[in-house]
Amino acid sequence: MKRKLSVLEHLIFINSQKSPENFAIMARINGLISTVQIQNVLSHLKKKHPLLSTRITFDNQEIPYFISDKVPEFSVRVLPKKNHDHWQKIVAEELELPFPWQTGPLVRFVLIESKISQDLIVICDHCVADALSLAYLTRDILYQLGHPENNIDSLPQLPGIDELIPSTLMESVPQSKKRLPLIIGGLLFILISTYKVFQGIKTILNWLTFKFMPRSTTIDLVSKKQLENDFFDKSAHNSKKEILTNSRLRIFSWYLPQAETSQLINRCKQEQTSVHAALCTACLLALNEIKEVNQSCIQKVASPISIRNRLSLPVGESFGFFAGRIISSVNYKLGMDFWDMARNFKQDLTNQIRDDKLAILFFRTKAILPIVANSTLRKYFFSILKFFDNGKLNYDLAVSNLGRLDFPIQYGSLTLEAMYGPIINTNEGENILGVCTIGNQLYFNFVCKENKMEISMVEKWKEKIIFLLRKN
């Protein structure tokens, strides 16, 4: 196969060159499986999912493509289980390990073995698939391991999401707003050009100063160290070794038992809100208490959303990237009722996923891509962003919720004990909560950098979330 990367896939791929855009799912299985069985299943599943076994190449116009030619077999690493949470350490390592995109494949596997249960970890480069795709893939693997006699039906090869966005969605955007992202792109290009001139002048002043001024003279205005720290983001040029060792990832996991999960789902229906809104509300309120926030404020949560059911062709359970990302906000007020806050959050979330809002996000991404795709412009673009926002995120938390997955628990002789995911690499120092519901049980995982959040604070935050969900 050969398929051009979509705008979103291309942007994720570019970002992954700075720091891996990896994510994972862990399935705990009661029963015995072997690497030979997994390899055999994968050899069949790559026929079902054309993008599963691919690599990335560029044509003579520097346009990236997924291709399936000369892609090696999948890597399945086997490790003995050291303890119950051993998988967390392995996933943290895998999230920060770049994929060899020139050779592929862009998915790999780890099997942590014990006498009773096995932990199957599936790791993927985000440019080739969304989190729901990885969940479906994990289920397909378990199904074929448990039922090897069953045939696997192939799915059609789909184009990138650019070609699947319906015209009705694009037409929902007023003409003036369609032009706005292009204007922003033009202004960014002018700003970058000005910035380059400014940096060039600063560099010349720096050289002249150190060349002709006495060595003992203290110079604050054009200090080389200040110039480098304030006006140039060197993190984009870190080696892979530095990326892996600068600040380690920490992964925390917990779950809400079946009875309490069912109670939460029913209560959300009664209160006319969603489980996702209730979870985000609990997370924000718990975070406010930990950080001792004692005043009203606007709080924001970044949430990936699936747009599979809004495309022009039926995507179904295909392996690929069919998602977007929105930022929802809620006006936090001291003493505000939990369910009032959850309903307000759901209302804003519903507003953010309107057709015209999603289309505008696509237009913005399309406008920025030519700048980010250019290696020279990209360097200055990220430097400018770092300079103006001081490296701060424009949201308080990211919550990636796969929702209620209608997956079986039994697969022949194998039993799915637990599933944690999506577990997402935090390459900007953000705090990311992954959530999924399987077998009427909510599974949580939280990813953060060691230097961004203390372990004791995470434990308190986790306990407070559970308390709020049980209390309300």
The DSSP secondary-structure symbol of 71 reads: P
Residues contacting 303, CB < 8 A, separation 6+: 276, 280, 325, 326, 327, 328, 349, 398, 399, 400, 401
Q: What is the mean pLDDT of residues 264-269?
A: 95
What pLDDT, on a 0 to 100 scale, did the predictor assign at position 295?
80
**Band (225; pLDDT cuts 50, 70, 90):** very low
**Torsion, CA 221, CA 223, CA 224, CA 226, rounded to 10:** -80
Contact present, 95 and 449 (Cβ < 8 Å): no
Structure tokens at 369: 């891509």
Question: For 123, how many CA atoms within 13 A lie in the half-sphere containing its CB?
Answer: 27
Question: CATH homologous superfamily of domain 250-408+418-471?
Answer: Nonribosomal peptide synthetase, condensation domain (3.30.559.30)
The per-residue pLDDT for range 367-406, each reduced to its tens digit, is 667 666 666 656 655 555 555 444 566 788 999 999 999 9
Whether pTM > 0.85 for this model: the answer is no
What pLDDT, on a 0 to 100 scale, did the predictor assign at position 140?
96
Domain ranges of the chain: 2-165, 176-243, 250-408+418-471
What pLDDT, on a 0 to 100 scale, did the predictor assign at position 180?
54
- The answer to whether the bond into 422 is cis (omega within 30° of 0) is yes
- 69 - beta bridge partners? none
The per-residue pLDDT for range 282-339, each reduced to its tens digit, is 999 998 888 888 788 888 999 999 999 888 888 999 999 999 888 998 888 888 899 9
**Band (172; pLDDT cuts 50, 70, 90):** low
Lowest mean per-residue pLDDT among 50-54, 76-80, 227-231, 273-277: 227-231
Lowest mean per-residue pLDDT among 222-226, 399-403, 421-425: 222-226
Q: What is the mean pLDDT of residues 19-46?
A: 94
Q: pLDDT: is 118 or 154 the higher one?
A: 118
Cα dihedral across residues 194, 195, 198, 199: positive or negative: negative
Contact present, 118 and 31 (Cβ < 8 Å): yes
Regarding the domain delimited by 2-165, which CATH topology (the fold level of the hierarchy) does it fall under?
Answer: Chloramphenicol Acetyltransferase (3.30.559)
